[in-house]
Chains A and B, each alone.
Chain A
Amino acid sequence: MPILRMKKFTLIGLISEKKKLFTALSRTKKVHLINMDEIEDTTKKFDVEKTDILIKKMSQIDGVIRFLKDAMDVKQAYVRSQGDKKAKFAIKTGGRKAEVSYAKFDEISEKEIDIFDNAVYIAEKYQHRITEIDGEISKFRQESESLEIYKNLDIAFFDVKNTAHTASLLGIVQNFKRKDFEKLVVDYPETQFAYIGEKGTDVAIMAITLKETEEEIREALQKWNFSQCGYDFNVTAMEMIRHHRGKIERLNKEKEDILFNKCQELTEYLPDLKLLYDYYSVALQLNESNLNVCETSKAFLMQGWVAEEDVETIKKTVENNTSVCSQEYVDPTDDEKPPTVIKTNKIFQPFNSIIEMYSLPDYREASPNVFVAVFYWLFMGIMMGDVGYGVVMMLVAALFVKFIKPEGGMKNLVLIIGYSGVSTVIWGILFGGWFAISFPEGSIFSPVLLSPLTNPLGMIELCLILGTLHIISGMIMRAINLIRQKHYLDAVLDSFVWIFFDIGLLLAIIGGFAALTGSAQDLSMLTDIGLIIMLAALAVVLLTAGRKNKGFGKVTGGLGGVWGVIGLVSDILSYLRIFGLGLTTGVIGMVFNTLAGLLLGSPYFFILGVVVLLFGHGLNLAINLLGAYVHDARLQHIEFFGKFYTGDGLRFSPLAGNTKYTKLLND
């Protein structure tokens, strides 16, 4: 029974014991609450204030965690750039959730004040200071940049001032050309002009003139948008720039000190911070779960789903945590929709992720997991089809599981690759694929079944046969679903008839290919039987597919049913992609072998040849794993699921079961 049977439970208990009970239930991770409609004379109590406080604290802690992680990354990058070999090869293990017991989880609330005082507030202070430093640095940088144009001015800005009879004009003009300057000098002989510097289209100039002609000069300069220099400090531009540089250096030092030293001291708080975050998160979810519960002034009423196999556990949990509580466990009614949990043995488990990638099956639907697992595994093996690659896949997956210890989706992916490695080895032996090396005929490495390159017709036949079998299994799934819903006639006419047709098709394919390849055995009998079966099935379809329509619709419905053959044939042809991808793996492997062969023959390029081999086969494996993964999934999702799958299952989400950084364990 791959989809777990669910029981709907109803609990009525005392408000005073609610919190304790909810906490206990959440820790079983086996309860999925139902959002109840409000019942007369009850209310739903939801503490908005508490939610706000929790959300605020969570975002505060999350900000600090991210800040500290960034600080660590910056330091690591720095250490790496300094060539520390140890750091270079250190594997990042930050992606995994730390495992924490509930005993420790409960203790964290006592440390809350300590954590806030010694880590959160201080980290926030550092963060604030770094923002300030960044602001100041950019301010100094900008000022230095705008001072740049005056750097050849060797008197202090303060000294550029008027005397009793002269006026000094210092400022910037735009689009000012050399010849403009020369013209000014000629036009105003009494005035002293100095060309100070330029930057882009801006030019800094200085003019010393008699007070009487000051206005005239100003007006002349206005032609180039003269803007007077605003600086009045008592040092030269160059000195000021140097001063800024010193300041920037000091600020950078301070920033480095905060990031490299002070923050690193705080990183020892990271595990606690993460746990505290999840503590709040669980509290928040428990608080939000109140929205699903009806309350009176003294009692509460809650409903939810629990897997049949867990009912006893939940019963005990309720008894242990309440003094009085009414419990009721009933089977779901037909119009209720319990959540879906697929449970299988360990071997099939990873392949469930292929189903979940599409969507979960409905609670009442038969779970396709066994078919998906078997066919995915088979197809992946054909697409890779090489003993060498299969061994590498198994080895890499085993090492990955052993040393990196992936979790969740990553773990499933790695396991799928590892398991498919076995299938790849098997097909590799059948196809004679050994790192795509071409062996002379008759060697022990020769194909046992057929060689895809020299016998493409055989390969096409194999793909079509496997495809038809896959489609037949899809039809079987449809029959199971229809029988479960007690639609027996539909099961016969919409499913068994097509299975019958597919079997005929299968026979016709085998017979037809035997004739095509001029096989020694005469299998034309098979073709004939197959064709008769197909025609018989089609006749039934033509007569019955329109049975639910009225009048003329019966005829069009029947024709429409027969038209379904086109869809079926195109579905089966789609399995030729298995051959296509297998061909890709084999031929690209050959390409690299040929290339490397040229190099390996020469003693001078031997090492380069080895590099080409390693790199080439690595690349080939990676590209084709991606292709095989995607196209194999597509065959499941479109060709196979298309025959029967509704896939509108509800995900089982345990009460307050979401944690971001830690994985909470019962002792």
Chain B
Amino acid sequence: MLNADVEVERRSFTVRATLSVAAGERVALFGASGAGKTTVLEAIAGLVPMSRGSVSLAGRMLSGPGVAVPPWRRRTGLLRQDPGLFPHLPVRDNLRYGSRGAAAAELEPLAAVLGISDLLAAMPARLSGGQAHRVALGRLLLAHCDALLLDEPYSGLDAALRRTLTALVRTLVRDRAVPAVLVAHELADAQAFADRLLVLDRGSVLQAGSPSSVVLRPASRRVASLVGYLGFAPAGRGLAGVHPDRVVPGALPDRGPVLTGTVLASRPSGAAWEADLLVGDTPVTCKLPDQPTGPELVITVLDPPYFGPDGNAIDRPAADARACPGARSSS
């Protein structure tokens, strides 16, 4: 169990985050670059001093009033984009660097799970990016860290490799029952990994919840922009958030508000088409299965979140009802 209540002064703003991660649970800190995500991890690992707050891990107090356990006694494993293998040690010695002999019998089985059994004698300079990450992960696991902190570890790798490694980490976190925190600036990475998502912006947590509730029911327009809403069109009781992925062509009034817009531009995007529309005087971007033909386009925004003039979501009760199936809708 990792409990962190972190407050770190940075040059332009203060980073404040509270998170509590159970053993085997996976939490993602999601936000734009420079939002303070890495700072939170580094405060947990003891690499940056906190101005206030506390960190406890597996029942041990790591930081708090009058307590500051140094990084080497925290047993927090940190994996960054640079795997940080020791270049002067072969893979085997890298793996057992933090294990102090006790985990020697564990090394071979873990290497097999990680798919690096053939590389134990190789030097790190000979490894590919993905292999180096597997070794770095194995090194943390053999050191028996009480928490896994992952700082965008795979952002430099290609998509297929990223998927494989994410799945591997998910399994290992579950099997070993350690709390895991992933920092990501790509929503897809955070969603693929985490049970729970914390949206961080300029040092503050704007919203916390399951990945789907955060994406489908953002608490504010700021969160909505961060998770990919590209337009806010007046509809019904306020501004409907338009996520490009949650738009279908045609009028389906029982599925959500129907908008009519002028096509400004369109381009291929993956296996679909992305179109920029002007709805009234609001620009909206949406994804469509086919290239739009005429100058006018009718779309339905599927069950969008609505935002009031203050930028906060209205219709929260409905959102809560959706998050907990069985609860009675009160709207």
A and B together in one complex: no
